[in-house]
Structures are given as C-alpha cells and as structure tokens.
Structure 1
C-alpha cells in the first residue's frame, strides 16, 4: 500500500470518527426547557425535587416570585395548608420530610404540591408542581457522557500510537547494529 493510500484510509477513519461523534452528540438526551407540556411563563418558578442532602431524606420545595415577608400557603397532597413566610427576596425554600408531613404518602412520587401567595404587585400567584419519582440508580443519561469520553480517549490513544509507531520503528532501524559473531 502506498503512502497516499494510507493517508486516505486514515482520512476515512477520521471522517467516520467525526461523523460518529456528531451523531452521538445529536442523539444525547438533553434537559427539557420547561417542566412539562402546557406550562406557561411560570414553569421555572416552582421546583420540587428530592433533597440531595444525606442528613434529611425528603422533598425540597423551591418557589420564587412572592412578596417579601408575606405568608405563603403550601399544600402537599391532601394535607392541610401550612403557612410559610417568604424570605426578603420573595422565595420559599423548605424541605418536606416524613417527620414534617402528617401522612406517610405526603412525600411519595406523584403527589401534588400547591404553593399560593401574593406577588409584589399584590396579585394572587398559585404555582402547582408534582413530586418526581425517586431516583432508582444510574440511568442511561448518566452513562452517555462517560461513554463518549471513553470513546474519545480510546480514539486519541489509537491515533497517537499509530502516529508514533512509524517514528519509533524508524528510530529502531536507524540505530540497529548488526550482531557480531565470533568464529
């Protein structure tokens, strides 16, 4: 095989590698821009997520857009509404645990969270969210970036090894001394 044929083959491989990387990047799942279909301009005003802290297992509720220092009603599932005071920036930050909830099903996945209070302009603001299902381990979305990184690293190692193999072989031939035999 000639040198130009080897370059063409490596160019084909590089093109296929680039096409595979672009295809993988295009098929990688991305985060949704809104919390779900049909949500309007307040889709990012209420966040209901499982508390990442290990000391308290529960659901964290974050809500913004309320009058600072005003009482805000929070209702979880079928429980009675509890009043929480908004902080100076008009946000609500609370953690619902099994100890703070009246029923055991209050912090289960699929439970509706309703937050209502007044905006700085005095209008009534009602935000509705749902407790997401609890994470059950490593998912495919968490493995995709690691797979892409390992594929890229492996490709770089193979490319570097092939690139340097010719130079290393030339160096060995250059300094090779014929064996001397005694008769």
Structure 2
C-alpha cells in the first residue's frame, strides 16, 4: 500500500509512544525516554526533505492525575532533544471518557498542528502505531501510515490505508510519494 499520489505532502505528524519512543505506560519521566530504533534517522530524513514536523500525542496521564502537564512537557522536551527537533507538539491531556475533540482518533490534534505548521491538513501525513493515530488522520482529512508494534491489533492493521514495517519505511513512503508528485 502507498500514499495517494494526488496531493503534495508538506508535513509529517508523529505519534509519540511506540512510534518515536519506546512506550513506558503513562510516562512522565524524561529519564525513561528511549527512542525506538531508527527514530532519529527517520525524523532527520523527513526534516532534510524540507517537511514541517510535529508530534500529536494523547497523554491521559494528566487527566488521571498521575502526572502534571509540566511533567509531560519535560518528557516531551526530552523526546525533542533525542529525536527532534519538532516544529509543534500537540498534546491531548484528556481521558477517553472526557468527550474532547482533541483525543485521537478525533481530528483535533491534527487540525491544531496543521494550523500551527501553516500546512493544509490535506498535505499532512500522520504516522503512528495504533488505529487511533490513522483514525485521527482520516477524520481530519490527512493521510495516515500505520507502523504496527506487537500491541497493534490485527483489525487496526487491516483497516489502515497504508502500513509500513517501521518508522524508516514510513518516512521512505512519504518521501517517495513526494518525489513522484514533484518529478
């Protein structure tokens, strides 16, 4: 599966946990941040291609009272230091039952990132490890790439329009798609 070749790509939005960094459930400790293999290189390739970059992440740890927004921001800053830099961070602090518009798979984080990046949402690609990530992309009008992990459910893989084996392959799909359109 490949990205649609009918529109340009101006930016990439990454999920944080299990996409850019090894998932530590409810992590709000910068010392526990470990990039997934190849993350730094993949992000650097996207940046070198001139794409605007951002992170869209659900962080219900805040709503659950297990961490403060400041602790999550410090953790995100560590991710930025190890893997970034990113042009924008959009964080949903709500829990699943809060009914907000920002929690993935709702489109709010993707729409907010598009506005900050000044990139039309249709020109964004969201890369993540679960159905909520690609669902948020679809709901916002962006494209999505699923990078499954052992925790990704089979039905999420089956429902994804585009699936990549790892983060580097996902970025390669974005860059190849971009190269085809601009050639």
**Superposition TM-score tier, normalisation by shorter sequence:** under 0.3
Normalised TM-score (structure 2): 0.27
* Higher Cα Rg, which structure: 1
- Bigger fraction of residues in strand: 1
- Bigger fraction of residues in helix: 2
Larger RCO, structures 1/2 (Cα 8 Å, 6+ apart): 2
Normalised TM-score (structure 1): 0.27
